[in-house]
Amino acid sequence: MPGGDVFARAMARIVESLPFGLNRVVAPSLVGFALLNGLTFTIDIGLLTTFHGGLHWPLPVSITVGYVTAFGLSYLLNRRFNFRSFAPVGGQLPVYVGVVLVNYLVWILGVGDGLAHVVDYRLARVAAGLCEAVYLYVALRWLVFRDAAPSRVAR
């Protein structure tokens, strides 16, 4: 995958430049995940703000629309560019849907909606997003895209 190779090399270069010995412990796929999911999280927050803050949709509906949009995009970007997976989509998609469903129920609605009763809904979503980032990287790397050997994950 030409685009995936370019992305993988760029992530490897970023990791090589990390200070304090971090280049020995940070995987290029973690940097790629952070960049791609930072982008999709920004889209998620933008949609949440538009639908709930601007159009006054109910918060759970606004969270869901932003979430589904962002995670569809996240799957495509991570599969192609970050993990460069070649496994059949038919085998990955049910696992991904399961990971996303657990993430949605626990981190997004559980933590995000729960915290929104105490703090601003955007701050609650960011806090939930930090929790979900750890969960999602682990799940994508070792469950969804497990066919991506470390050498293909740009180490």
Instruction: Kindly state the percentage of the chain with pLDDT values over 70.
Output: 93
DSSP state letter for 141: I
Residue 106, pLDDT > 60, answer: yes
Q: Return the domain boundaries, the chain.
A: 2-144
The alpha carbon of 110 is separated from its chain's Cα centroid by a whole number of angstroms, namely: 18
Please state the φ and ψ torsions of residue 19, each to the nearest 5 degrees.
-85, 175
What is the average per-residue pLDDT within 105-116? 87
Q: 104 falls in which pLDDT band (50, 70, 90)? A: confident
